[in-house]
């Protein structure tokens, strides 16, 4: 019973961290979009650039923290060879697939958030690129934060909890 309650608490914590990271990423994208739509007035541009950078950095850091917590508290098990994976239970195979997808989604999402921050800072250095700012990096990063939260980390932790519980009995 304690394992299930602990699993639920960890899942809620991971989802909350990833959702906050996604919301911060969306907010950074909206500010960058408003900057582009406003015609990049010089007086407001510096303030927006710093705010977008801070929001993007916070989103990337929170996504990294959520991924680390999911892996450390999700039953960090090792499957070293394909024979061991083929002999393992379906639950452990689901866990391994969730782990692999979790790393892919977290890596791509983190890269998108960093790319959005770098694009924003690059556009703030050159006044000619002011109208050419794209916020799709933040949007993709936020979608991947939500995907990491709702699909992969929950499946990873629940599968690890049940596979560990089944193997100990």
Tell me, what's the pLDDT at 59? 92
pLDDT higher than threshold 80 for residue 137: yes
Q: What integer pLDDT is reported at residue 122 of this predicted model?
A: 72
| Residue 41, pLDDT score | 55
Which tens digits make up the pLDDT trace of 17-55? 999 999 999 998 888 887 766 655 554 556 667 888 899
For residue 146, pLDDT over 80 is answered with yes
CA distance 81 to 100: 14
Instruction: State the average pLDDT for the chain.
Output: 75
3-state secondary structure of 137: helix
Q: 56 vs 77, which has greater pLDDT?
A: 56
Confidence (pLDDT) at 61: 94
- Mean pLDDT of all residues in 133-139: 75
pLDDT score at 43: 45
Task: Between 128 and 66, name the one with better pLDDT.
Answer: 66
Q: Which of 105, 92, 91, 117 is nearest to 145 (CA)?
A: 105
The model's confidence at residue 82, banded by pLDDT at 50, 70 and 90, is: low
Q: What angle do CA 158, 161, 167 make, to 5 degrees?
A: 135
Is the per-residue pLDDT at 85 higher than 70?
no
What angle is formed at CA 110 by the lines to CA 107 and CA 115, rounded to 5 degrees?
120
Band (pLDDT 50/70/90 cuts) for residue 58 is: very high
List for the chain the helix, strand, coil content (%; round to 5). 90, 0, 10
Q: What is the DSSP letter of 81?
A: S
């Amino acid at each position: 019973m304690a394992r299930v309650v602990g699993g639920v608490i960890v899942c809620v914590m991971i989802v909350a961290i990833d959702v906050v990271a996604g919301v911060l990423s969306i907010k950074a994208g909206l500010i960058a979009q408003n900057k582009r739509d406003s015609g990049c007035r010089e007086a407001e541009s510096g303030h927006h650039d710093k705010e977008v950078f801070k929001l993007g950095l916070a989103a990337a850091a929170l996504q990294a923290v959520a991924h680390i917590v999911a892996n450390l508290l999700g039953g960090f098990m090792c499957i070293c060879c394909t024979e061991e994976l083929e002999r393992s239970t379906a639950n452990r195979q689901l866990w391994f697939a969730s782990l692999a997808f979790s790393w892919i989604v977290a890596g791509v999402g983190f890269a998108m958030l960093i790319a959005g921050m770098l694009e924003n800072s690059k556009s703030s250095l050159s006044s000619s690129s002011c109208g050419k700012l794209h916020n799709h990096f933040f949007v993709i990063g936020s979608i991947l934060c939500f995907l990491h939260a709702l699909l992969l980390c929950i499946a990873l932790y629940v599968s690890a909890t049940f596979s560990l519980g089944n193997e100990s009995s």
